[in-house]
């Protein structure tokens, strides 16, 4: 396939970018993989956690935090840290509850239970 790209009538920069992408064509997209892992662990993912994951992925690819959205970005990190901690607690069978640091009152929740959608 790389030879086809090299013969294509596109810029050298575009050719190089496409050739770099070839190595990742066989990989599973991360979002469906995360959802499959959560389902296998019998853990819920809230709409807020899902949206936080999408925003984190965009930030990881260079999108800046929009002006005035710093506090929601901090909550996103709390949600994602909590999601990771829930997975770790389930895999290690270390606990059946977690402290929901993304919620204002910091309640204890069952591992299966996602942090609720903010209002």
Residue 9 maps to a domain: no
Q: Specify the DSSP class assigned to residue 119.
A: -
Is residue 22 situated within a structural domain?
no
**pLDDT per residue as tens digits for the range 24-66:** 777 777 888 999 999 999 999 999 999 999 988 888 888 888 8
And the tokens for 31?
A: 């979002």
Give the HSE-up count for residue 46: Cα atoms under 13 Å, Cβ half-sphere.
21
- Give the pLDDT confidence of 61-105 residue by residue, as tens digits: 888 888 998 898 999 999 999 999 999 999 999 999 999 998 889
The tokens for 15 are 């050719």
Q: Which residue has the tokens 């970018």?
A: 17
86: domain range? 41-110
Quote the number of domains for the chain.
Answer: 1
* Residue 45 is assigned to a structural domain of this protein: yes
> What is the dihedral angle through the alpha carbons of 30, 33, 37, 38, rounded to the nearest 10 degrees?
70
């Amino acid at each position: 396939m790389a030879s086809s790209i090299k013969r294509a009538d596109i810029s050298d920069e575009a050719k190089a970018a496409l050739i770099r992408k070839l190595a990742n064509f066989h990989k599973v997209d991360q979002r469906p993989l995360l959802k499959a892992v959560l389902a296998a662990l019998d853990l819920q993912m809230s709409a807020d956690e899902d949206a936080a994951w999408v925003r984190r992925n965009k930030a990881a690819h260079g999108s800046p935090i929009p002006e005035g959205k710093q506090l929601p970005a901090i909550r996103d990190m709390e949600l994602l840290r909590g999601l990771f901690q829930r997975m770790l607690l389930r895999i290690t069978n270390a606990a059946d509850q977690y402290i929901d640091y993304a919620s204002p009152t910091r309640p204890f929740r069952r591992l299966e239970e996602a942090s609720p959608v903010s209002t």
